[in-house]
Amino acid sequence: MELDKFKIRTDLAFEALDIEKIEDVSEVINDEFEHDKFIIKRTVIPEKVGKEINRKPGIYYCLDTTAIKTHDHDDLVKCEEALSLIIKEVLKAENINPSQQKGLLVGLGNVNVTPDALGPMVMDNVIVTRHMFILNPEEVSEGISEISAIAPGVMGNTGIETYDITEAVIKRIEVDYVIVVDALAAKAVSRVNKTIQVTNTGISPGSGVGNTRKELSKETIGIPVIAIGVPTVVDAVTIAYDTIDLMLKYFNQKMNEKETPGQKIIFAPEKINLTNAQHPEEKYTKEFLGEFGLLGEEEKIQLLQEVLTPNGYNLMVTPKEIDIDIENLTRVISGAIDRTLHTIVDNGIIS
C-alpha cells in the first residue's frame, strides 16, 4: 500500500519522530526539562534523520502550555518567561545579538480567520522601534533593539507570495535576522493551542492547512529565520483516529473494572481520566472494533482518509475556545519576543 499520502499531517518535529520509523535515532537529541510548571522538549535533528522524516535538520523546541489556566496572569507571565528563554537559546545558536543587530518580525496568516490570526495579532502587540532609530537615534534608551514588524497577509487577499513581500522588505531595510510567527497543524488533538514550537529551520507559509508556499528560511532568504508556531487546527482524520484510540482505552478500563469474568460492561456517563490508560489485548480489540481493530496505525489512518476525503469530510477543525486561546497565546508570544529582544523589558523597566 502507498501510505505516504495518508500520514497524519503535523508541523511538530517531536511528533514527526513518533510517527515515522527511524532507522537510527542515536544522533537525534531529545531532551525534556521544566521551567516552573511548564514542560519544554528540545529536539535536535541531524541531516540524515531529517531526510527520513521529511524535516529540515536543526533545533526544535516545544513548550507545553497546558498548565495555563484561562486568563491567569501569573501563569501567562511564567509561560512568557519560559518561551523567552527558548527564543534566547535559538538566537544564541544562530549567533544573533539583538542589541547589536537589526531584526524583522513577520506575522503570517489571515487576521480575519481566528485560527490563522495568531501571526498578525502578535505583530499588533510587539514593540517596534525602527522608526525611533531613524527619527531620534540619540534619544533611544539603552536596552532597546532596532525591530521592525510586518503582517503580509495571505496570497488569496494580496495576490502576492508571502515570501516575495518579506524578501522585498528585507532588502529594503537591510535587517540581520527574521522571526516569523505562524499557525501550525498537529497530529494529536491534545496539542492544539497547547504547544509552542520554536525552531531555527524557518517555516513554509500555509503548511498548517496543507497549502504550503515558498519557505522562509536561511537557505532562501540568506539570513537566519527563527520560526515560532502554534498548532491551532487538526484535520478530521486526526480527530477520528484519536477518538477510536480513546474508545479502546475506555473499553479496556471498563472491562478491567468488571467484578466477575463475562460480566456485561456498563457504560456510565462519567468522566474518566484516560491519560495513562492502556489499550486492550488484540483479541478484545477485535471484539470491540471488528476487523478494523486489527489494522495497524498507518492502515487505520489510510482507511479513515479514504472514507472522509472523497466525501469532503476531512475538514480542518479548531476548538470552540479558539478566541480565548489565541488571545492568551498572543500575549505570551508577543511578551516573550519583547523580553528577548529588548533587555529594558526583560529587566522589568518596561512592562
- On the question of pLDDT at 21 being above 90, the answer is no
CA angle at residue 65 from 61 to 69, to 5 degrees? Answer: 165
Question: Residue ranges of the alpha helices (H) in the chain?
Answer: 13-19, 47-53, 73-93, 118-123, 130-135, 155-158, 162-173, 218-221, 236-256, 282-289, 297-308, 322-341, 343-346
Asked if residue 246 is part of any domain, the answer here is yes
Asked if residue 351 is part of any domain, the answer here is no
Asked if residue 111 is part of any domain, the answer here is yes
Number of domains in the chain: 2
| Residues 146 and 73 both lie in one domain | yes
Domain holding 283, by residue range, is 238-316
**Domain of 331: which CATH number?**
3.40.50.1450
Is 89 or 351 the better-scoring residue by pLDDT? Answer: 89
The answer to whether 251 and 328 are in contact (CB under 8 A) is no
Asked if residue 144 is part of any domain, the answer here is yes
pLDDT band at 2 (very low <50, low <70, confident <90, very high): very low
Mean pLDDT of 255-272: 69
How far is the C-alpha of 209 from the C-alpha of 172, rounded, in Å?
Answer: 31
| Residues 246 and 133 both lie in one domain | no
| Residues 172 and 282 both lie in one domain | no
CA angle at residue 148 from 174 to 91, to 5 degrees? Answer: 80
**What is the structure's pLDDT at 15?**
74
pLDDT band at 350 (very low <50, low <70, confident <90, very high): low
| Residues 265 and 339 both lie in one domain | no
| Residues 129 and 101 both lie in one domain | yes
| Residues 182 and 306 both lie in one domain | no
Asked if residue 149 is part of any domain, the answer here is yes
**What is the structure's pLDDT at 262?**
63
- On the question of pLDDT at 249 being above 60, the answer is yes
| Residues 280 and 214 both lie in one domain | no
The answer to whether 240 and 304 are in contact (CB under 8 A) is yes
Q: What pTM was estimated for this model as a whole?
A: 0.86
| Residues 250 and 183 both lie in one domain | no
| Residues 153 and 266 both lie in one domain | no
Model confidence over 167-182: pLDDT tens digits? 999 999 999 999 999 9
Mean pLDDT of 239-260: 83
The answer to whether 195 and 186 are in contact (CB under 8 A) is yes
Asked if residue 31 is part of any domain, the answer here is yes
How far is the C-alpha of 105 from the C-alpha of 150, rounded, in Å?
Answer: 6
197-201, 305-309, 331-335: segment of lowest average pLDDT: 305-309
| Residues 252 and 227 both lie in one domain | no
| Residues 26 and 170 both lie in one domain | yes
**What is the structure's pLDDT at 316?**
85
Asked if residue 306 is part of any domain, the answer here is yes
Mean pLDDT of 118-122: 97
Mean pLDDT of 197-205: 90
The whole-chain average pLDDT of the chain stands at 86
Mean pLDDT of 257-281: 72
> Would you state the cell numbers that stand for residue 304, as one nine-digit string?
479513515
| Residues 66 and 208 both lie in one domain | yes
Residue holding cell 505562524?
A: 182
**What is the structure's pLDDT at 60?**
95
Model confidence over 24-62: pLDDT tens digits? 666 788 889 999 899 999 999 888 888 877 788 999 999
